[in-house]
Amino acid sequence: MSTERLLFASEPLNLSELLPSARLAVHHGGLGMANWCLINRVPQLIFPTDMEKLLVGRGIENANAGLITDRRIAADDLFAMIKSLSGAPIPQPDISAMQTVTDTETLTHLLQKSCDPRSMKPPERKPSG
């Protein structure tokens, strides 16, 4: 059930074609989708399905790039969140930095920003060369 302004997808989509014209992305908090939205500066409404996706969502909130919500949200509250996010200005991410790290390093960065830094160990780096 899709309309001219709303797309529901049950199969993979070409995000590089869709996201540049999107006003809002609603998703479960997967790292790939979150990164695509950040790169394309699309606000995100995240319904996390597990702890990893909750931490990704917290990173998105910390970056002022979206909000986390729960599937039990009241319809009026959901509508208000969608309205506040649709067309909201999203800061331009540092794309060059994002392209030089692995998915694991990107997730580690989100985790460090989302959790108490005293409980996190920095990732071990191998000496280059």
Whether this model's pTM surpasses 0.75: no
Question: If you search the block for the tokens 């071990």, which residue do you land on?
Answer: 124
What domains appear along the chain, each with residue ranges and CATH number?
A: 15-115 (3.40.50.2000)
Tokens representing 41 are 């500066």
The SS3 assignment for 14 reads coil
Quick check: 34 and 54 in contact, CB under 8 A? no
The SS3 assignment for 39 reads helix
pLDDT tens-digit map of 34-75: 999 998 999 999 999 999 999 999 989 888 899 999 888 889
Quick check: 54 and 48 in contact, CB under 8 A? yes
